[in-house]
Amino acid sequence: MSLSIPEITLNDGLTLPVIGFGTYRLNGNPGVNAINSAIDLGYRLIDTAYNYENEGTVGEAVRRSSIPRDQLRITSKLPGRYQEYDKAVTTIQESLYRANLDYYDLYLIHWPNPKQDNYVEAWQALIDAKKWGLIRSIGVCNFLPEHIDRLNKETGVKPSINQIELHPYFNQEEQRKWHEENNITTESWSPLVRANEVLQNETLRNIARDHNKTISQVILRWHYQLGTIPIPKSSSPKRQLENISIFNFSLNETELSTIAELTRPDGRMKNQDPAIYEEF
């Protein structure tokens, strides 16, 4: 059984499904099997990163899949330690060699690392790699509006996507609005808060019960109705299917407002504020 997932179009014309598949901690043969199961179920957008050490696993799953390469959307990310222009270029090439792919559909700068202050030259490397055909669409992760403004001012090129921590405990209302005004698509990482106690939350449980759905499904439907692309990770085919079975119900305005009340200013899972936090 394969579910059909609706698609949206990014500001540069690339189409993406409205829900994707996270792969953090899916490595080796079990990882290939989990990713192949996800693709068989209907996932087409797969999220990896140089730092997850599993671009090879993702590439192998793509090769073993019966779905043509041009129907898949594979994302990878540039780590902080390789943001200088020349290093960024060779890292993008290395990412492709690791996956044994000819191109990535999306390539993102993983963190802005503002103290290091190299993200504009990293961005220039992504712009050039797109011109060379190594990447179809370029974006960022964890960038604040001020970081994106600088990319735009210094290179004239805006990201197609900003992938940020976003879940019911940290709903990023302001940043989402800013993305909308600037025609940038929001992708949500850790959309299920890594299945922490959110999956016992009473407010969400009541909403889930009313729809005869699970809490995970309510959360993922909420992402969809906000207009963000969640990329839940699951090693289990059963939970992978659960997570994309969200297109046959709808949350009403009252339910959306109730979920909005769960957000907290300190709701980030690990206090990773991109203005300060750096990752290499």
Ligand X SMILES: NC(=O)c1ccc[n+]([C@@H]2O[C@H](COP(=O)([O-])OP(=O)(O)OC[C@H]3O[C@@H](n4cnc5c(N)ncnc54)[C@H](OP(=O)(O)O)[C@@H]3O)[C@@H](O)[C@H]2O)c1
Is 232 among the residues that bind ligand X (CB under 6 A)?
Answer: yes
Find the shortest distance in angstroms from Cβ 74 to ligand X: 12
Find the shortest distance in angstroms from Cβ 193 to ligand X: 6
Is 113 among the residues that bind ligand X (CB under 6 A)?
Answer: no
Find the shortest distance in angstroms from Cβ 40 to ligand X: 16
User: Which DSSP category does 17 fall into?
Assistant: E
What are the tokens at 247? 């297109």
Residue nearest to ligand X (CB): 22
* Interface map 158-177 toward ligand X (x if CB under 6 A): -----x--------------
Could you give the 3-state DSSP secondary structure of residue 226? Answer: helix
Is 23 among the residues that bind ligand X (CB under 6 A)?
Answer: yes
Is 234 among the residues that bind ligand X (CB under 6 A)?
Answer: yes
Pairwise CA distance, residues 162 & 143, whole Å: 7
Of positions 17, 233, 241, 244, contacts ligand X by CB under 6 A: 233
Pairwise CA distance, residues 258 & 87, whole Å: 46
Query: Which CB atom, from 104 or from 189, has the smaller least distance to ligand X?
Result: 189
Residue 52 is among the residues annotated as catalytic for this protein: yes
Only one residue has tokens 């902080």, namely 80
Find the shortest distance in angstroms from Cβ 25 to ligand X: 7
Taking CA atoms, 111 is separated from 82, 90, 107, 212, in Å, by: 11, 18, 12, 38
Query: Which CB atom, from 48 or from 131, has the smaller least distance to ligand X?
Result: 48
Query: How long a stretch of residues is the chain?
Result: 280
Only one residue has tokens 């290091």, namely 116
Taking CA atoms, 97 is separated from 50, 101, 167, in Å, by: 11, 7, 33
Segment interacting with ligand X (CB under 6 A) among 9-17, 19-27, 89-97, 150-158: 19-27
Pairwise CA distance, residues 221 & 244, whole Å: 9
* Interface map 47-76 toward ligand X (x if CB under 6 A): x-----------------------------
Torsion of CA 17, 14, 44, 233, to 10 degrees: -70
Q: Which amino acid is residue 276, in one-letter code? A: I
Catalytic residue numbers, as ranges: 52
Residues that bind ligand X (CB under 6 A): 22-24, 47, 110, 141-142, 163, 189-195, 199, 216, 231-236, 239, 242-243
